[in-house]
Structure 1
């Protein structure tokens, strides 16, 4: 079309009625105001910003974004927008109403008049693409017979059931996904509808109909999430007064509006920090990518909706991409170029390449930004200190912090109390109070209070400590809700190996053992043993080390507690050993930081999504570098932005600035390489992937030090001495003895170059790596947890958001390729509880690749962890899976963990407490969680008498505070 022809078309259009109605009759505004009729018939104010955005996109599609081009584009966009406005003002000086197509035609005309022919073409193509999207979004007719019923809207009014609207929602949800059927979902859903059904129940019926099909085809998880999105959009957009409902394509337009309305509403309701309004909200709103809503699985989206989205009176008015932008803004508030940084952070989070920890997701951008994950405290041996620590625990737990308490300084049962001339009740009664505090003060009403108590193995109360989680005995000396862990020195493990005795002391008489490690601990401990032998110690008890070790393993097997963690590995490999002592780990055993009466250690966590960094079956190191560099900046920002409810925590965090970069989806990454977990290839990948993450995390921290300065306690640290995590193995070996350690020392990257950089620029953070369990954030991103092997290939996951059928999509793809995925296979998987081992028609190589957690030999789990540990300056949450567990297996596995240089272990998974219901898929119902447990293997005599074993903590037990 020529310019002259377009001119005539425009002149004619300005006089013609729109939709059969003269434009003059639609002038519902004050004089001089122009309104726009949208394609759906709504009349809205004219917004010049929309013209600017559309024209800018057309220019950017044709030109680079350098400074000169940006200046020209800005100038031309302003000119063209002004010309368009002037034309309509001249035609309608008293105001009037235009159709949106008329405005877009005029934009095309002005581009051509300005001789921007290439850009005009881009704009025309853009309009055609949007028209095609609208065609897809148009209500789609279906041949399915709909019942003649009414639907009750929120205001109580009733309207006939619009089956085509439902068909449109389901068809959009299925778009682009293989092996899913929209009609089957509609047919199943209609069976559950009745006359007068509420809109909410009608949408829930769609969700339920889709989710029951997940076991047949994993892609139905995405379908279910997309149907749920329709409900979420309606809830949020209605509350924000944007629209009653919206399709996915329309969210490209609605997200920027909803984002600005959300910020204003959140500040008005005193839920968001008013500083968020100081951002350029237009720029941030336009950076939102609505298509990223389609990445969610059902479990991921439902988890966000139930537990993460900000709500008011049970109405969630936060949408997924707004949620990620809110978190990103909260982490960028103190950046100089905060809009650009917020967009950078948003892109990283919303792409699922990296995910911040739960407290950061909960609280970033809010009035109380408590963003840190873990707090470690040492409990002093006096009443003021003990109950002061209880108060600190309550305050930290209130704002979603997980707690690790070191109780070793508290004197033992029967110790002399000078002030009252009485005797102490020991540490156990105080642990009971701490347990009840964790129950009473949950984490902001969002998850249960979570706490772990640590006690050193030489403490005289250690035997009572081992019994804390038993279901028998005096309930006043039991802690049924609190996690417990042994803090084991190397000397004890050596005594077990050598068959020697072990002596227990009260901290009141041997207080310095608490702060000693390695050879210094051994020397002083032997001095106390000599004093005890001479009768110069009032309280002590000598027992065979193996007997205590047996009881430790027996209680771990029976109750799941106490976990076994290694004091000297944590301390002798700590970068901060020049300035303090690590007295415990945290709630999930991955944090190893110094604590004292004056310092509560704090750590901020986040995890790299490993499968997102795989390219053609190998790790994309350049992408890892980009992700880790941005992620570490986000973690470092947490330290300064964080809300500290306890001053000692703030002082410690600002002094040392520790962070914990971890990973998740390790098992998925193995599937992408066709590498079984129980293979040398998996061990090598554990080594390689952690080395790369470690290298670039240290590099990123050093870069931040160059920009922002080193952390205050840097001088004297192992970093400052050029001793990196792998090098610290030598320190451990020197203190422990070479015969008691076996760790691979190989490396592939240029570590000398990085050491030279750190020597020059320093480090911003005392600690940079720790692998957390990622139980919930891996649900959000739809990958396997942390470094865990696959639990089962088909099972029902039960957590605080409900029950979800989980089927291994990697397995389904493999079996489809072999033409083995059918109803019979699904039923077989259910019957054999997600295991392939008994299904004869599956090839052996596939069985090995998809071995479940209890089919993986513990040696592979331990060796993979050992390879990672050499690169990590903190620790890793390492669950140990032992099928058909017995005393000998436990003994060998935990001694292997010590020999392999591990710092900590986490849960012992010895039996499966969650199983899939053995039913046929034709029932069409979601599998229920069965509490069926396997027969309990007996503990051999050499490790204690056989005992009944309650169910171990399930991976997905909604009452398991550590897993949430």
Structure 2
């Protein structure tokens, strides 16, 4: 084995040098001073040094696949071995010593590199070669590392940038160099993410406008914007109607300093996939993108159109609310397909099946996510009247759908995304469960699409009572598809009796528990099919009079009626909850003096009342945000481009929208509330109640201005029935109580006012749905949807590359306690981003910053159930399990059903997403070696996730 020195030379590996380094670490501190009561002859020191040396040597021999080890890697392993041995103080001093030696080497190199800097030349776009303006580059880097409320060390960025320079470097490469230099530093300090974003912003600005400093954009943005609109229209990318706005007024509303609030990952995602370009050259700056989206959504405003566009822009550009990805992609363009989700029902005939496949392709082309209801299609072995042959069942057609999704990859922007749903009584259900397996006949496998079980309550009741279950083919039991609740039970039992009497050609009996176990086994092994519940989706639907909910969507949060004549459509966006949180609100008054509640940053809040939770939400701001957001979502319906007639007719008739939420975990961190306590449940309940109140009232107000949706009469709304009222209806259907308190924290008078409003009209048949928000939350820089934090430090891989993700709240707290250092970074890497086993971290912070796998998933279900009572559609709910077992998974999903949840999404387990343990810090992006693909948090094929 050989060591690779810092200068690239090779030397034979000598374990004695490792032993010497470890011994010196025990004898001397970071400044070289001898530790008290330590000497080289001490038996304790000798034994510890020998044991640690052996561990390091064993590790290096295991890792040195090509027989070589970089010297930095060897030193990293010494750090890890010291930490694993519990010698945290020694390890910390060793780290500090390495950092001091690194600074000394850097200083020694300064003179040697000065001459090289003087001879570096830059190649401009026109081919001219000019000397590098080193002082300008240094100033740009130093300024990027300073903010009004924080600053980070610019020297590591400068040093790493210099290593990337070479004579003849192009302007584009020169702009990228500091970005590449900064990315590995994000793991040490999250503020470097803002620094890297500023460098990327320089690159975007040069492409879109020219070589001007960001500070000048305060005065130049308006002029640039007018030219951008004109150019975008000229090249056929922007809607010509944008020119009808008062571009002087619109341009003057742009706020250049909001470009600074992006973190690197968010801005890189915008650059790669959202900003409009002309032959791969971006012509759109970030604030122009927000305004382009706002103007596109204001196109049909007949009064004060400019003012509404500006109002939409203010909400978007301040990250209070963000529309879903299709809207951000296409609003204001010549192809404004802005809707997020489409739900289709596939009929039981060949022409209808392939019409459905064609519809999938058309919807996917323009960035739609699809949910297909396949229950009507007859099972394998069923008689085909026209040919007198036997059907091959659902599975072969699903293979075609799978390949179509791969072929039509959403306009080349991201993978096609579709989910197939099948009811549990369908004869093909057992083969359906195995579609995602990696074994078996590959012609009957769908590796690229998602699948979900659509489970009636009767099946769960049979599971609970350990009874038998009967499978049927839908051509013999067609009405089961259209029945729910008690009506479904009555008819299903009639079919079972008919089967007993020999009146059914195809049926199969098996224990319900056996089928349930197979469902959960496949869910654990393959991640599919997801568990969703038919009856809660229908019994609690405000649109029961207009049809049946036959499936959910790609991410299981949309629950709209679909049929062979209507393709359900939903238009999504999410409120950033973190932006509406007040940490220390005024909670009472004493005389004329307002008194604030204060608590120590180290105190956790595990109990909180609903009234106290309300005090932490800026209700005025939230009300304004939701009102504006609902108007934007409603506008989507009218300006939208519809790929199919069935989608257009359904969307204009029912006008469903789905207002969601993101940044929930960040809000809890800000309020010092752990996720595994009653306070988190109460806050989830109250926050969703507030959003629900404002969303419903906003839709009712819009109905006063614009009229109700066509199918309003006969809906729950028309009878003054609100989502929270339907909990009782579900209880009555099941005959058992649902353990969710239906009382709210907001004064009943406010709800009564809303109830009276909705009786007279609603603009939207459905108002709320909580989506995963994976990409838009990355753009904003907050936690995804309602999920707990996945890990406190990890590398996420998505279509825009690999990004170090670090919990800034945790880092702030550890900095405050003087615990944030290189050793802590290495600890977080070693323990997969979890602080629960890092002894130096106080217990209250271990609990507050518990990761998704540290939190018992029962708490996630409790919070979701208390949200669900306020939500008229559903919730995309990921569940996490560190140590899964059959019993635990069974208990978890039974609990979800008992608490009245409509749907669940992915089941995440640690075994599917474990990371390599490493502390390499060799200026590579992947300094945190364990890369977690996007699918470890969200579905990479999901329209809302990518």
**Interval containing the TM-score (normalised by the shorter chain):** 0.7 to 0.9
Higher relative contact order (CA 8 A, sep 6+): 2
Structure 2 equivalent of residue 743 of structure 1: 740
1:513: Cα distance to partner?
A: 0.1
Q: Is the 8 A contact 2:918 2:928 kept in 1?
A: no
Deviations 1:816-864, CA, capped at 9 Å, x for gaps:
1111001111111111110112211111111000001011001100000
**TM-score, with structure 1 as normaliser:** 0.81
1:188: Cα distance to partner?
A: 1.7
1:500: Cα distance to partner?
A: 0.3
1:290: Cα distance to partner?
A: 0.1
Matches within 5 A, 1:85-100: none
1:919: Cα distance to partner?
A: 3.5
Structure 1 equivalent of residue 583 of structure 2: 616
Query: Is 1:493 the equivalent of 2:475?
Result: no
Structure 2 equivalent of residue 600 of structure 1: 567
- Distance across 1 between alignment mates of 2:280 and 2:357: 32
Query: Is 1:255 the equivalent of 2:221?
Result: yes
1:332: Cα distance to partner?
A: 0.2
Structure 2 equivalent of residue 938 of structure 1: none
Matches within 5 A, 1:386-535: 386-535=353-502
Query: Is 1:148 the equivalent of 2:119?
Result: yes
- Distance across 1 between alignment mates of 2:260 and 2:253: 17
- Distance across 2 between alignment mates of 1:695 and 1:330: 27
Change in Cα spacing, 1:756 to 1:694, as seen in structure 2 (3 Å) is closer
Structure 1 equivalent of residue 603 of structure 2: none
Query: Is 1:228 the equivalent of 2:200?
Result: yes
1:912: Cα distance to partner?
A: 5.6
Structure 2 equivalent of residue 571 of structure 1: 538
- Distance across 1 between alignment mates of 2:161 and 2:212: 21
* Cα RMSD (Å): 1.7
Structure 2 equivalent of residue 159 of structure 1: 130
- Distance across 2 between alignment mates of 1:835 and 1:756: 45
Q: Is the 8 A contact 1:252 1:290 kept in 2?
A: yes
1:258: Cα distance to partner?
A: 1.5
- Distance across 2 between alignment mates of 1:952 and 1:395: 26
Structure 2 equivalent of residue 334 of structure 1: 300
- Distance across 2 between alignment mates of 1:364 and 1:957: 24
**TM-score, with structure 2 as normaliser:** 0.83
Deviations 1:626-666, CA, capped at 9 Å, x for gaps:
00000000000000000001011111111111100000000
1:704: Cα distance to partner?
A: 0.3
Change in Cα spacing, 1:602 to 1:932, as seen in structure 2 (3 Å) is closer
Q: Is the 8 A contact 1:378 1:407 kept in 2?
A: yes
Structure 2 equivalent of residue 191 of structure 1: 163
Deviations 1:580-621, CA, capped at 9 Å, x for gaps:
000000000000000011100000000000000011251111
Q: In terms of mean alpha carbon deviation, does 207-216 or 616-625 score higher? A: 616-625
- Distance across 1 between alignment mates of 2:567 and 2:773: 23
Give the aligned length: 799
Structure 1 equivalent of residue 697 of structure 2: 699
- Distance across 2 between alignment mates of 1:234 and 1:774: 30
Query: Is 1:725 the equivalent of 2:723?
Result: yes
Matches within 5 A, 1:244-393: 244-336=210-302, 337-393=304-360
1:954: Cα distance to partner?
A: 1.8
Deviations 1:555-588, CA, capped at 9 Å, x for gaps:
0000000000000000000000011000000000
- Distance across 1 between alignment mates of 2:867 and 2:659: 13
Structure 2 equivalent of residue 182 of structure 1: 154
SS in 2 for 1:371: coil
Q: Is the 8 A contact 1:795 1:915 kept in 2?
A: no
- Distance across 1 between alignment mates of 2:507 and 2:739: 34
- Distance across 1 between alignment mates of 2:836 and 2:435: 38
1:960: Cα distance to partner?
A: 6.4
Q: Is the 8 A contact 1:858 1:881 kept in 2?
A: yes
1:359: Cα distance to partner?
A: 0.3
1:168: Cα distance to partner?
A: 2.9
Structure 2 equivalent of residue 804 of structure 1: 803
Matches within 5 A, 1:863-942: 863-911=862-910, 913-914=912-913, 918-920=917-919, 922-927=921-926
Q: Is the 8 A contact 1:913 1:931 kept in 2?
A: no
Deviations 1:920-945, CA, capped at 9 Å, x for gaps:
36423222676789xxxxxxxxxxxx
- Distance across 1 between alignment mates of 2:628 and 2:508: 53
Q: Is the 8 A contact 2:798 2:934 kept in 1?
A: no
- Distance across 1 between alignment mates of 2:369 and 2:330: 15
Q: Is the 8 A contact 2:555 2:942 kept in 1?
A: no
- Distance across 1 between alignment mates of 2:494 and 2:528: 31
Q: Is the 8 A contact 1:185 1:206 kept in 2?
A: yes
Query: Is 1:821 the equivalent of 2:820?
Result: yes
Q: Is the 8 A contact 2:720 2:756 kept in 1?
A: no
Q: In terms of mean alpha carbon deviation, does 407-416 or 759-768 score higher? A: 759-768
- Distance across 1 between alignment mates of 2:548 and 2:118: 71
Q: Which has the larger radius of gyration?
A: 1
Q: Is the 8 A contact 2:919 2:927 kept in 1?
A: no
Change in Cα spacing, 1:620 to 1:810, as seen in structure 2 (3 Å) is same
Structure 1 equivalent of residue 595 of structure 2: none
Question: Gaps spanning 5+ residues in structure 1: where?
Answer: 1-141, 238-243, 934-950
Structure 1 equivalent of residue 34 of structure 2: none
1:368: Cα distance to partner?
A: 1.0
SS in 2 for 1:842: coil
Structure 2 equivalent of residue 128 of structure 1: none
